[in-house]
Chain A
């Protein structure tokens, strides 16, 4: 026994997912179900002069049509939620259907319900909306200026908040430094592009007075709470179900206008209603990620010791706050020092409204921005001081003996050993040979680049005190009368594989075959309250709650066995998944046997309740801090500027590993997403606020052929903040990879005197940077 945890157990989810037997929102068909289509603004900022729904309402099969004004005429008052703990945050009203004014292209202004999706879509063409255009502001810096057109006139400013933070003596550190590097670093806007777009099926049970919402969400319980508030229903009259969810990446960690409206329509019309988002809508109206301008200054001593960091972070919030919009950029501030000892920091975060879709959590959520800027800055300092990028990192790492380590920004890193992962990665990549090869190739006019990224990130979100809302999670373990085990987890996995890893844990600890463990999630009527899956918290928080529940089950099972054996419970123990008498190997009882006794009820010691189940909650005392080193090797074609990733080596440390296959899968996907930011992806709005990257023909999500082969290794540094010793791995690959790729390309371009280019590193950008000296002449 005790063999499944740590083994590459195949994902139990996969057979149904890859054979088309899984149920996503769009697969749900309810009797009498009708279909909603949203009418969206084609303007980035405009007064709504008139909405005429008459022709649409008269179209065949149309049941109803509502504008934002119609919604409010029924007494609607609620704004969509934003979770934060900021004292002075400017939070303008955010209604699910725009009233009076639209503020970004894609904002919903009306909704049509028809008997079938075809009629709904045809009727949508008949809606007439008259707009009076208003001045548009897209550029973050322009929006932050005092004379900018206002996204929300009533606020009198586009600046939603300004958060200054200082620690140590940054001014003194900069004054006393040998070298100061200044660099503006832009972290471009990204679209999450899950394979499954958003979707909602809502059903009103008029008899029970309850509404059920099936939504492609990462947070069914939080969605239930928020929708009950928005809809004005008691929370126990709302049921939220997350069926199979085809990708979230943070974009489904939200409460969207469409979820509220479709639920409201089901109640209003007393019909089940489906809304399936089109890919075009998904580009326009699903949250975006990143979008910061970071003005950075870093100060160092001649030997490479970093002494100070100054940052002015300008974050594009979009037109409205979505659930966590204002919080995300603050994570950039917190993680800006990275894995380095930097005691003097001066950081300001400014969140700014623009006439664009809201930004919010997208894989990494604020930490990729931090890692990107510090990893670029460290390379720039190294270049200036003519130090090897590995050497400058070695000189600034927080030493393994210094943990727990409190950073200048006030976080306490739990455990870490940054130098070891880096040395291991350098060895795996054969770093010194790579440098030699780079030298040789340069002489032939070929430009090889080697990029390092040594990251630490904050996840396992998190202690409740540090979260905008609750940070704990829950688990129930039920030993059923005939010995199978049901787990109800409060997290809501959607690709992270907890149906497998949690079953591994239970199978090992309770000694039941993994086939007999069922992991249930994603339905608020079945599962006790839980917070959800985001911020790489599934195992660290949800798994720890499960561990506690297992321990409670074990303690009770020992009492049951002790009673049966007429022994003292203290003489019994769980060993290799079964109950044993210490010193008497002949005595053993399985959990299933104890569960049956608990069910029968007549063989229990006095005072012990029948049944063998437990619900536990885990409140993490701290975040967890996974880390690692990524090494990327690229060759840049000087004639075209095209980047080819030759090798990609990553050594990651996510603490204890429950299932290495799943961990590697997470790293693979994470690196693909991170390198895509470096090379390909960018959401582009033009100056009028029109989305120019609104289809997959324009927005470059990489194909398989554009993704390199990964060479992965790991180190294991367990955390002390939870009983499993696990950290998190959902976002680490994304966080670590972007700077590794950019640093590699910048390294390749070093002979051309190039020090920094903003992402994505389109071939033309590189070609231009290389052009002045590439006319047949090979730079030395």
Chain B
């Protein structure tokens, strides 16, 4: 459990970090280190340079302005999991932060690190897709990347060489939830479903449903979203029926804990559960 040799920098601003990033050969940004460090210890990845963002602690924040939220890239899972506003206004992300890892991981791991790591079974990506979050990426120039374009594949995002994710923004989603069936060892999602509902009185006006853990990248279940439009919130049977085929068209992953067929079936079950939970007051 000893990583290969690497250089370590701890810059004090994003600008400084970007400068180092451009200079270093095979440089990696270190945020909370909960995925990167174990991978380095196993020598699955051997960056020559680590640029530790913890020297810029002002990147750890959650702020609300009206119905709009901005989360700094260094906000820890624990910060999000303890945020009462978040629970009220965007339960989908609060659920995900609470469902993620264990207390130790939540205390150190960051939302930015987790999103850029883009594990195909990570919890946040589903919530981000369902929130239609916007990722602010600093580099030569600052870019805004919508969630739909951010998660490109397994361990792959829109953050390019020489770029750093600095913050994530999204609008409040008072009717939302995230549920998952977790891997008993890693506690990652075998299947995780994020649902954000737009409600009009007792009916679902519109829905955004995103699924993680099932395929090589998180995805939106658009057919389910369409089928949910107009469904009454108290019509459990109609919700279940709308959620059928949530994984349609996806190539489901398979491993010791869960076959592709099981994952696909669980996508339906969990989608219905996420939607039902999103209809409940939080």
Co-complex (A, B): yes
Q: What is the interface of chain A, defined by CB distance below 8 A to chain B?
A: 117-118, 121-122, 125, 278-280, 639-640, 642, 679-680, 682, 684, 692-693, 695-703, 706, 762-764, 767-768
B181 contacts the other chain (Cβ, under 8 Å)?
Answer: yes
Pair B184/A639 contact, Cβ less than 8 Å = no
Given contacts A640-B269, A698-B185, whether A692 and B256 have CB atoms under 8 Å apart is: yes
Which label, helix, strand, loop or mixed, suits the secondary structure of the B interface? loop
Q: What is the interface of chain B, defined by CB distance below 8 A to chain A?
A: 1-2, 4-5, 42-43, 102, 181, 183-188, 256-259, 262, 265-266, 269
User: Can you list the 4 inter-chain pairs with the closest CB atoms, starting with the nearest?
Assistant: A700-B184, A700-B185, A121-B2, A697-B186
Contacts of A706 in B (CB 8 A): 184
Q: How close is B261's CB to chain A, nearest CB, in angstroms? A: 9
- B256 is contacted by which of A121, A640, A642, A684 (Cβ under 8 Å)? A684
- B4 is contacted by which of A122, A278, A279, A682 (Cβ under 8 Å)? A122
Most chain A CB neighbours (cut-off 10 Å) among B2, B184, B259: B184
Contacts of B5 in A (CB 8 A): 118, 122
Pair A767/B265 contact, Cβ less than 8 Å = yes
Contacts of B1 in A (CB 8 A): 278-280
Pair A698/B186 contact, Cβ less than 8 Å = yes
Pair B184/A640 contact, Cβ less than 8 Å = no
Q: Which residue of A lies closest to B187 (CB)?
A: A703
Q: How close is A30's CB to chain B, nearest CB, in angstroms? A: 20
Pair A639/B2 contact, Cβ less than 8 Å = no
Contacts of A768 in B (CB 8 A): 262
Q: How close is A115's CB to chain B, nearest CB, in angstroms? A: 14
Docked CA distance A762–B185 (Å): 12
Docked CA distance A125–B5 (Å): 12
Given contacts A692-B256, A698-B185, A706-B184, whether A280 and B42 have CB atoms under 8 Å apart is: yes
Contacts of A697 in B (CB 8 A): 185-186, 188
Pair B259/A696 contact, Cβ less than 8 Å = no
- B181 is contacted by which of A125, A695, A763 (Cβ under 8 Å)? A763
Contacts of B259 in A (CB 8 A): 764
Q: Which residue of B lies closest to A680 (CB)?
A: B184
Contacts of B187 in A (CB 8 A): 703
Pair A764/B258 contact, Cβ less than 8 Å = yes
Docked CA distance A698–B1 (Å): 17
Q: How close is A357's CB to chain B, nearest CB, in angstroms? A: 18
A-B contact pairs, 19 of them (CB 8 A): A121-B2, A122-B5, A279-B1, A280-B42, A640-B181, A640-B266, A642-B181, A680-B184, A680-B185, A682-B256, A692-B256, A696-B185, A698-B256, A700-B183, A702-B184, A703-B102, A762-B184, A764-B258, A767-B265
Q: Which residue of B lies closest to A702 (CB)?
A: B184
Docked CA distance A280–B39 (Å): 12
Q: How close is A333's CB to chain B, nearest CB, in angstroms? A: 31
Pair B262/A701 contact, Cβ less than 8 Å = no
Pair A117/B2 contact, Cβ less than 8 Å = yes
Pair A764/B262 contact, Cβ less than 8 Å = yes
Docked CA distance A579–B2 (Å): 60
Docked CA distance A722–B105 (Å): 48
Q: Which residue of A lies closest to B1 (CB)?
A: A278
Contacts of A122 in B (CB 8 A): 4-5
Q: How close is B104's CB to chain A, nearest CB, in angstroms? A: 11
Contacts of B266 in A (CB 8 A): 640
Contacts of B258 in A (CB 8 A): 762-764
- B257 is contacted by which of A695, A703, A764, A767 (Cβ under 8 Å)? A764
Q: How close is B175's CB to chain A, nearest CB, in angstroms? A: 23
Contacts of A640 in B (CB 8 A): 181, 266, 269
Q: How close is A25's CB to chain B, nearest CB, in angstroms? A: 15
Contacts of A700 in B (CB 8 A): 183-185
Contacts of B269 in A (CB 8 A): 639-640
Docked CA distance A677–B23 (Å): 51
Contacts of B43 in A (CB 8 A): 125
Contacts of A764 in B (CB 8 A): 257-259, 262
Q: Which residue of B lies closest to A696 (CB)?
A: B185
Contacts of A121 in B (CB 8 A): 2
Q: How close is A529's CB to chain B, nearest CB, in angstroms? A: 36
Q: How close is B269's CB to chain A, nearest CB, in angstroms? A: 5
Q: How close is A680's CB to chain B, nearest CB, in angstroms? A: 5
Contacts of B186 in A (CB 8 A): 697-698
Contacts of A639 in B (CB 8 A): 269
Docked CA distance A699–B255 (Å): 12
Docked CA distance A703–B102 (Å): 9
Docked CA distance A557–B1 (Å): 56
Docked CA distance A764–B5 (Å): 42
Docked CA distance A680–B43 (Å): 28
Docked CA distance A693–B183 (Å): 13
Contacts of A763 in B (CB 8 A): 181, 258, 262
Q: How close is B71's CB to chain A, nearest CB, in angstroms? A: 26
Pair A762/B181 contact, Cβ less than 8 Å = no
Docked CA distance A703–B181 (Å): 15
Most chain B CB neighbours (cut-off 10 Å) among A117, A692, A697: A697
Docked CA distance A692–B256 (Å): 8
Contacts of B181 in A (CB 8 A): 640, 642, 763
Given contacts A640-B269, A767-B262, whether A701 and B2 have CB atoms under 8 Å apart is: no
Q: Which residue of A lies closest to B41 (CB)?
A: A278
Docked CA distance A150–B183 (Å): 36
Q: Which residue of B lies closest to A642 (CB)?
A: B181
Contacts of A118 in B (CB 8 A): 2, 5
4 more CB-based (< 8 A) A-B contacts, given A702-B184, A768-B262: A122-B5, A280-B1, A680-B184, A692-B256
Q: Which residue of A lies closest to B102 (CB)?
A: A703
Docked CA distance A702–B184 (Å): 7
Contacts of B256 in A (CB 8 A): 682, 684, 692-693, 698
Q: How close is B267's CB to chain A, nearest CB, in angstroms? A: 11
Contacts of B2 in A (CB 8 A): 117-118, 121
